Amino acid sequence: MFFVACMFFTWTALALPPNIVHFVIDDLGYFDLGYKNGVVQTPQLDQLVKEGIQLTSYYTFKVCAPARASILTGRYPWSIGYYNVGGTNEGVNLSFSLLPELLKPANYSTVAIGKWHVGALLQSYTPTFRGFDYYFGYYAAATKSYWYHGGEVGGCSGTDFSNNTGTQVGGALGENGTYSTHAFTNYAVTKIKTHDKNNPLYMYLAYQATHDAAGSGIQAPLTTVDQYPFIINDTYKVQAATLTELDWGISNVTSALKQAGMWNNTVIVVTSDNGGPLPHTYNWPLRGGKHTYWEGGIRGEAFVYSELLPVSVRGKKWDGMVHTSDWYTTFVEGLAELSLPSNTGPRPVDGMNIWPALMTGGVSPRNEVISQVQNDYWNDTQVIRSGVFKLLIGNPGDSNRIPFPALSKQPVAFGKSGGIVEPGTGHATGPGMSDGPYNKTLCTKSPCLFNLKDDITESHDLAADPQYAPLIKNLTKRLENVAKSAMPFAKIFRDSKEFKAAKEAICKIIDQTGFVEPADVPLGPTPPPTPLGPTPPPTPVPIPPECETAMEKICPHSKYPDETTCRKCCHTNKSDLTSDGCKPKHFNAYCTFTRN
């Protein structure tokens, strides 16, 4: 009896495990954020990285679905059958326990928002059947529009936007016409406001930004695009605007956490899912981009912010090696202080707990990342980093390095280089750009070895130097050995007839409801999507009274009646406004939301 009482006292006396908010940014380039390029306006993200810990050796996969599967399973993508992007029949095998399931013993409320992309042909593969309490987002790799959320399965088109709670799966009504960054942000803010503070929160927020809309291009509101008159190319104007909208969203989420009294016990993690695609992002100074095994394709942007981090480690770069699979173990063991179950799937966990190293600025527990193997299922490139050395065997992909472009000295209007605006709306689309001549000559005829500590641009191949022959032999043997433990392709249906039947069932659901939902969702009286409408404005960032007073005095709406001239005035008088407590995010709120 005494033992039970002591145990009860211990658990109730302890503070709650920290809230965890993981922002996954789709197709974010290594050089895309403002704190690196000095052009794109991302003040909230810049602040988080400058006051947090920047992970300079963060490794993910070259494309999106395998990286997301890795986060949620704690394994290398290839080890769970994700060798590449495999289409609608691809899904994380149900024998694996996903991350939110493992947080439940610590009473976490679990919310998934945005892109899923790890299986949705059957309900059992969708978020709320795999550990999440709530899901609000789309199942596929991308939708056809940031506003209208179109998707396709089996040749049938519908709205790929779901709002699921527990076993109740169905379409998200009333969202067609809403810019996805706004929709996801507003849902996240609502969930934070209504969260039961007696339990910790795990929020997996995977924005559509900055992936292009399927079949068109990158998209953003024209009013935000017009904030970038000196960027010459329309695609890059929209890319920058998409990031500014994303930054607005993250700012609103962090503000909601503060207003809810949750900020001081929250860990914020921001990561890209893969390297940025060369047609509309920048990975400078890295070589290559999305779809490649060069550093620009697999080394991603990542940083961590929390009031729980000691002051001594904040505002620092940490070069410890990290892999996407490490969040699984770090969140469960490092933050929730739970023990990983002995069996979370048919293959051991690859992820490591990096939280102790982050708290001290110490050495990473990881000294190796195996990005790809070759076996009976995959006969292509092999990639491993061990210590400072990286070995590439096979074709790594396009080896181009593209620097951030120079700005124009004069304003350039949107629409001069292929950008379009949807008639009757402010919906701007920047077409994809050519990334230049495809360079596929490097490392294709023989293995390449690089010392990444001295050569992050992968410009000096060491493979021909005899002194490295033993290292290359050992790393090659390592790749051969681990490849034997990899799983077959992560298919939901092995039988083609079953796969066909599932697609036909989804087509029937689309015909009746208008929404793309799993094949085994019961058909019922779900109404069709609401008609398309204008993009609702985002929720404004609160403006401190003294700041608003100063802006009204220096940049009155009577003199600067439109958003563009208002913002220009604010930025011109930035030093004066800053002294009155204003920040760049307040400029946007004042110019957008307070006009009569």
Active site residues: 64, 117
Measured distance CA(175)–CA(184) in Å, rounded: 10
| Phi, psi of 126, deg, nearest 5 | -85, 165
What are the helix (H) ranges across 221-264?
222-225, 234-259
Cβ atoms 157, 510 nearer than 8 A: yes
Q: Count other Cβ atoms within 10 Å, centred on residue 230.
A: 13
Q: Which two tokens stand for residue 596?
A: 């009569």
- Non-local CB neighbours of 410 within 8 Å, separated by 6+ positions: 230
Pairing status of strand 162-165 against strand 134-138: antiparallel
Measured distance CA(235)–CA(222) in Å, rounded: 12
Question: What angle separates helix 234-259 from helix 180-193, to the nearest 10 degrees?
Answer: 10
DSSP state at residue 492? S
- Non-local CB neighbours of 469 within 8 Å, separated by 6+ positions: none
What are the helix (H) ranges across 140-287?
180-193, 222-225, 234-259
Coil, helix or strand at residue 156? strand
Strands (E), 232-381: 266-272, 302-306, 316-318, 322-323, 368-372
| Phi, psi of 221, deg, nearest 5 | -65, 140
Strands (E), 273-411: 302-306, 316-318, 322-323, 368-372, 382-386, 389-393
Pairing status of strand 150-153 against strand 266-272: unpaired
Coil, helix or strand at residue 323? strand
Measured distance CA(112)–CA(114) in Å, rounded: 7
> To which H or E segment does residue 134 belong?
strand 134-138
Pairing status of strand 389-393 against strand 382-386: antiparallel
Cβ atoms 506, 88 nearer than 8 A: no
